[in-house]
Chain A
Amino acid sequence: MKVAPVVVLAMVPTSLALAVAVGSVDLGPAQLGEALLGRGDEIAREIVWGVRAPRALAGFACGGLLALAGSLLQVLLRNPLADPGILGVSGGASAGALAAMLLGAAATGVNLAALAGAAVAAGAVFAFSLGRSGWNPYRVLLTGVALASGFGALVGLMLAVAPSSQVQGMLFWLLGDLSPSGDPTAALLVLATCGALAFSQSAALDVLILGEDKARSLGVSVTRVQWVAFACATLATVAAVLLGGAIGFVGLVVPHLLRLSGVHRHALLLPLAACLGGSLLALADTLARTVAAPAELPVGVLTAMIGVPALLALLARLR
């Protein structure tokens, strides 16, 4: 209980520092220090501040957003298997992005198409499950799963008919890839906003774990809390997917890692999930671009390869 927060908080600067220090160009400690202070070789400065730092922050923002969304959805849907993909939002974004790639769109076009796909999915979840009868976890879950498999089929179709020169790019998008991520500022802003908004509901979320009626009887405005949390989770997922594609596993595993380590109060769980998710993804992305350098692996593969053993080890330790 006391260890986990310290470890997680220490991981944030460590992972970001590693992400900036390590790369296909070996800068060495002296040159790195100079560049960090904005002095010395112009190429080194460009590598540190123009390439690695934005990418490290993009990884951190993306992982933080996914873990935040996962933490919220697991409470809202009362399902330990809930992750950002379960709303169909990342499926919608994937289908949109692939369709744009198939039509030969540039990066901006792909991003816009992904945004449109995510909006269609979120709108459909809203229309089919939330709009009419208020919040019902089963309807949301079923709608999300149905949409996700629908989009999955579309994605499969597009992969099947795409010319082979495009398939690799598509697969990278589907597995999650931070190399074309660009400016992370918007995503960091979304992370800060959604994080703060969700954090403001943390005490109510603690009570909501006991069920809606009990939460109501303890004075929680259940519907309002659910709406706020759902909006935060959706927005966070969309921002993460636009930045890094459909990166899996962070949103599912990080909240469980924390709960299994004894962190369960949302006032602690939510910020720590954002920190841990962000750090893990920054680390995974550092690995993704270095293990097979100069080639890059899709970061989604790395998150699964780190996340799965970590979760299994914790589960084994706790019987």
Chain B
Amino acid sequence: MLEAKGLSLSAGGRELVRALDLSLAPGQCWSLLGPNGSGKTSLIHALAGLRQPRSGAIALDGVPLASIGRKDIARRVAVLLQDEESDFWGSVLDYVLLGLYPKSGSAWSRDEESLAQARHWLAELELADRAAQAYRTLSGGERQRARVAQVLLQDSGVMLLDEPLQHLDLRHQAIVMGTLAACAAEGKTVLAALHEPGHAARHCGFAVLLYDAGRASLGRSSDMLTQANLEALYQCRLEAAGAWSFLPS
């Protein structure tokens, strides 16, 4: 259970989130929607303990996040960041295995079980035949899938994902969302910043909408993802496109 109470965030003198109360329970899959610059990344960083909130409290299973050690957080909260340095020299498998660092404290642990787990997630994300390839030689979308596989291998109870679908084609968007939803169904807590309300509606039972100027609303996706809400959220007119709105089934 990851909880925020009265959480306020600001960046560059701009208020992003004001007095947000949020409670992410095991088994729940949350989408995080909002226009560019509305604070999605800052919220994820704060929930992961990577940045100090301006005010408010964040607690992991009832314990203040700030009082939990870095490694302990990493065992319980996995984060997919939007950006990452890309000068990793090893293979795709090496890259994914770094997800075991919080558990083993060593990038050497290559016992059968961890290797099998890493290969499982690579296969799940259709990268099995890339395992031995140099990570640097992957395309943007393949890299993104490898990064998701690393977060899945981390096997933490809470997963916070900042734009997990970036660079992905339709097929792999569906695979990633399906995998995340399956993780939630197994009892993990999932929060994913998305730009596609269709995916949010299909795979996530709950949604956080971050408006400009610090306002937020949250609840069940069926209540939140209405045309009126989304028009207010993105400040643009939307049409119910019906047959034009394609999502992989």
Q: Do B74 and A219 touch across chains, with their CB atoms under 8 A apart?
A: yes
Q: Is A267 part of the contact surface with B, judged by Cβ < 8 Å?
A: yes
A178-212: which have CB < 8 Å to B? 202-204, 206-207, 209-211
Judging by beta carbons under 8 Å apart, are B88 and A220 in contact? Answer: no
Contacts A267-B107, A267-B108 given; does A218 touch B87 at CB 8 Å: no
B90: A residues at CB distance < 8 A: 264-265
> Quick one: which of B50, B87, B105 contacts A203, CB cutoff 8 A?
B105
For B108, the chain A residues whose CB sits under 8 A away are: 203, 265, 267
Task: Kindly provide the distance from the CB of A268 to the nearest chain B CB, expressed in whole angstroms.
Answer: 9
A219 near B75: Cβ-Cβ < 8 Å: yes
Q: Using a CB-CB cutoff of 8 Å, which residues 221-247 of chain A contact chain B?
A: 221
Given A203-B101, A214-B84, A219-B73: A264 and B89 interface contact (C-beta under 8 Å) = yes
> Is the beta-carbon distance between B75 and A213 smaller than 8 angstroms?
no
Least distance between B96 CB and chain A CB atoms (Å)? 12
Binary per-residue interface labels of chain B (72-116) against chain A in the complex, 1 for a CB within 8 Å, 0 otherwise? 111101110101110111100010001101100111100000000
- B154 located at the interface, meaning its Cβ lies under 8 Å from any Cβ of chain A in the complex: yes
Among A80, A213, A219, the residue within 8 A (CB) of B102 is A219
Choose among B70, B81, B83 the residue that contacts A221 (Cβ–Cβ < 8 A).
B70
Residues on the B chain within 8 Å of A264, using CB: 88-90, 94
Cβ 8 A contact of A217, one of B72, B81, B87, B88: B81
Contact in complex: A216, B89 (CB < 8 Å): no
A259 interface residue per 8 A CB criterion: yes
Residues of A within 8 A of B45 (CB): 213
Using A219-B102, A259-B89, A265-B90 as known contacts, say yes or no to A213 and B50 having CB atoms under 8 A apart.
Answer: yes
The closest CB in chain A to the CB of B71 belongs to A219
Per-position 1/0 for B113-157, Cβ under 8 A of A: 000000000000000000000000000000000000000001000
Question: For the complex, what is the distance from the CA of A211 to the CA of B88, rounded to whole Å?
Answer: 10
Q: A215 — nearest CB in chain B belongs to which residue?
A: B101
Interchain CA distance A265-B73 in the complex, whole Å:
24
Closest-CB distance, B237 to chain A (whole angstroms): 37
Q: For the complex, give the distance between the alpha carbons of A202 and B98 in Å.
A: 12
Q: A207-B98, A211-B84 are in contact. Are A217 and B107 (CB under 8 A)?
A: no
User: Is A218 touching B89 in the complex (CB atoms < 8 A)?
Assistant: no
The docked-state distance in angstroms from the alpha carbon of A215 to that of B70 is 10
* CB atoms of B79 and A217 under 8 A apart: yes
CA distance A80 to B87 in the complex (A): 10
> What residues of B have a CB within 8 angstroms of the CB of A206 in the complex?
98, 101, 107
| Distance from A262 Cβ to chain B, minimum over Cβ atoms (Å) | 8
User: Which residues of A lie under 8 Å from residue B74 when comparing CB positions?
Assistant: 217-219
Residue of B nearest to A206 (CB): B107
Q: Tell me whether A207 and B154 are in contact in the complex, defined as CB-CB below 8 angstroms, given that A214-B84, A216-B50, A218-B98 are known contacts.
A: no
Indicate if the CB atoms of A209 and B87 lie closer than 8 Å.
yes
Complex: how many Å from CA A221 to CA B84? Answer: 18
Say yes or no: A210-B107 contact (C-beta < 8 A), given A216-B70, A217-B74, A264-B94: no
Contacts of B88 in A (CB 8 A): 209-210, 264
Which residue of chain A lies nearest to B106 when distances are taken between CB atoms in the complex?
A203
A202 to B101, CA, bound (A): 12
B48 CB-CB contact with A under 8 Å: yes
For the complex formed, measure the closest distance between the CB of B44 and the CB atoms of chain A, giving whole angstroms: 10
Known contacts: A264-B94, A267-B107. The answer to whether A209 contacts B101 by CB under 8 A is no
Nearest CB on A from B35, distance (A): 23
Per the bound structure, the CA–CA distance linking A216 and B154 in Å amounts to 13
Contacts of B175-225 to chain A: CB distance below 8 A: none
- A219 and B94 CA atoms in complex are apart in Å by 18
Determine the distance from Cα of A267 to Cα of B88 in the docked complex, in whole angstroms.
15
Q: Is A139 an interface residue (CB 8 A)?
A: no
A203 with B107: CB separation less than 8 A: yes
Complex Cα spacing A204 to B50, Å: 17
Considering only residues 56-75 of chain B, those with a C-beta below 8 Å from chain A are 70-75
| Cα-based distance from A221 to B99 in the complex (angstroms) | 16
24 contacts between A and B (CB under 8 A): A78-B85, A203-B106, A206-B98, A207-B101, A207-B107, A209-B85, A209-B87, A209-B88, A211-B81, A211-B84, A211-B85, A213-B45, A214-B81, A217-B48, A217-B81, A218-B74, A218-B101, A219-B70, A219-B75, A219-B101, A219-B105, A264-B88, A264-B94, A265-B90
Seed contacts A206-B107, A217-B81; 13 additional CB < 8 Å A-B pairs: A207-B107, A209-B88, A209-B89, A211-B83, A213-B81, A216-B50, A217-B74, A218-B98, A218-B101, A219-B74, A221-B71, A259-B89, A265-B90
Give 8 closest A-B pairs by Cβ, nearest first: A219-B74, A264-B89, A219-B71, A211-B85, A217-B79, A219-B102, A206-B107, A203-B107
Chain B interface (Cβ within 8 Å of chain A)? 45, 48-50, 70-75, 77-79, 81, 83-85, 87-90, 94, 98-99, 101-102, 105-108, 154
